[in-house]
Chains A and B, each alone.
Chain A
């Protein structure tokens, strides 16, 4: 088990290295001149060159990547100039490990930017996750157990419709109509626990969490339903029934447990994807999370922030993959790790 975890973590690190190289290559090949963006329109060639040198953009691709990797492990200084360090140490920003870069646009290290925005995205992801898992799985199981009934048809139909409306449309309906026009809820504005207590935090999350959860819930109702129906047709369910086990035990101990495995996999990966910020939901509700940070970073061509976010998100997904595989072995006794 431990050997397995270590091997997977090792493979994950290699994957991250490859993925950061690919990311760098993609953005390095970009025809957009970073230095002139940072420096502004009325920038002389010399100034541009100086900016490029300060940010390290004049370096080769391999060196830029190596600097980035060094920053992640050791931390680095911006600008990394020994002469400047002696003459004017106050102009140097030190970025501690794990350093994901320095954003000139925001005048802060990417690590700090992420630290500021992560709690918002994480709150949103957790609350939406709880909503869609509880709602989606419960309704999916209900539909499967009542297969063919009106309840089943209704749930399947509703989830199809909920799935069909784009997230931003649902979000806007909730925001502009439910909150603003009809005043049914407060106008959502992110409040941290420190500001508004747990109650304020929860109520500020309600509408965005519903928006985000609805799409996933629709997908999970359908998915859960078909997995449960499928597992009821398995041989071991028939065996359990013919042993004379009560239907309750057959349902909960045998059929549902097996149906849970693929759902856990999906849920783990979906949650990891959302931790990095629900870009659309955060845009609709104007939430200061990582998704919003990503939108701003890409519209300002703020490359360090973008690269930092991409690599952090990939880390989440890779870690989630490992965790999901471990959980798999816990839930499903047929799975052996190795």
Chain B
């Protein structure tokens, strides 16, 4: 079939390229038979979004993850308005021994759809919703910090090459040879003490004396301090492949500063693989927060996080299995959903990747 040349209408260039990924417009003036169609060119980003939307699983998980994020944003607001009461104790709903909730499935009822927690009788739905807020905050902040460190070092190493590249490479090797969990455990005491005593003394940093903030900040710092090397490697690889391209040379000839070259010319061209990595880092960090809390490091109750609810539920595995399985299942659901969004983003941004 003849799909013929490009049709120019005004200043909008339209091409006819065979291929399913381009949007096809029927032209108003049919030439010859039915064959002539014109095609609107679309940016790579638009193409990626279109591919993402075409994938059902990705879209479902995207909607679910959006719902989770909305929950995370809404939870503190609902608490402020008194709709959710994560710290109100309903001791009267506990069984006579005062530990396990009365009723089936951890005391599920209309007023407490997820039941209440054993021991104190607090509403589990409210606690879990607020836990998503804090866990997601930790994971997102950790991810942002990780990406900033990784991207800056990756760009500098890839672009400068030579000695600086070698130094960054050795720093990466050094970081990777540290045992992360062990360092987390060993440093948690000293660093949290330091944050509360010394760092909180600096003007404007007084909030570090807050236990939740210093404990949370420590988790974020550890996640970022040990998480950046893969980001730096990905970015460095990308930078190596684009630093010899013409537009960089052009910018250089125009006298662009080093900073401009790094962040205005190079950075916008490496975001795709970084974005994919980010969407996979968030669930990994949510999981890590939970694991850290199981080891006793992180934000402590009464402020709920998915990690500390799970760590607390461990004592009630047989007395109140609902309280044990529900937070675990929620955590797994969040991790799966975010991972699927990450997979979808990868497939959409890099159609050659394999699924």
Contacts and interface: CB of A to CB of B under 8 A. Distances in A.
A associates with B: yes
A275 to B, nearest CB: 10
A229 interface: yes
A163 B339 contact: yes
A165 B283 CA distance: 11
Contacts of B74: none
A32 B179 contact: no
B203 interface: no
Nearest to A283: B295
A313 interface: yes
A7 interface: no
B295 A32 contact: no
Contact of A166 (B185, B197, B287, B353): B287
Interface in B288-338: 290-291, 294-296, 310, 314, 317-318, 324, 328, 331-333, 335-336
B335 A276 contact: no
A32 B287 contact: no
A164 B310 contact: no
Interface in B37-56: none
Candidate in A19, A22, A169, A172 with the most chain B CB atoms within 10 angstroms: A169
Interface string A128-149: 0000000000000000000000
A15 B170 CA distance: 8
A213 B24 CA distance: 49
Interface string A163-205: 1111111001000110011000000000000000000000000
B2 interface: no
Interface stretch (B83-91, B186-194, B208-216, B255-263): B186-194
A23 B170 CA distance: 16
A32 B190 contact: yes
User: Number of contact residues on A: which range applies?
Assistant: 35 or more
Contact of B314 (A172, A306, A310, A317): A172
Interface stretch (A51-59, A235-243, A245-253, A292-300): A292-300
A166 B331 contact: yes
A18 interface: yes
B281 to A, nearest CB: 14
B39 to A, nearest CB: 28
Interface string A273-285: 1001001100100
A314 B188 contact: no
Interface string B167-197: 0001001101111011101111110011001
Contacts of A23: 178
A15 B174 contact: yes
Contacts of A176: 317-318
A93 B340 CA distance: 56
Given A176-B318, A301-B189, A164 B295 contact: no
B340 A160 contact: yes
A226 interface: yes
B264 to A, nearest CB: 33
Nearest to A180: B318
Contacts of B179: 273, 276, 309-310, 313-314, 317
Contact of B177 (A15, A161, A306): A15
Interface in A200-219: none
28 contacts: A18-B174, A23-B178, A31-B194, A32-B193, A164-B287, A164-B333, A164-B336, A166-B287, A166-B328, A167-B291, A168-B291, A169-B331, A172-B314, A176-B318, A180-B318, A226-B355, A233-B354, A276-B182, A279-B182, A279-B295, A283-B294, A283-B295, A299-B185, A301-B189, A306-B186, A310-B178, A310-B186, A314-B178
**Considering the complex of A and B, which 10 residue pairs feature the smallest CB-CB distances, nearest first?**
A30-B190, A164-B335, A298-B185, A229-B354, A164-B332, A176-B317, A313-B179, A314-B177, A306-B186, A298-B186
Given A15-B174, A165-B331, A168-B291, 12 more contacts: A166-B328, A168-B290, A169-B290, A176-B318, A273-B179, A276-B179, A279-B182, A280-B291, A294-B186, A295-B185, A299-B185, A306-B186
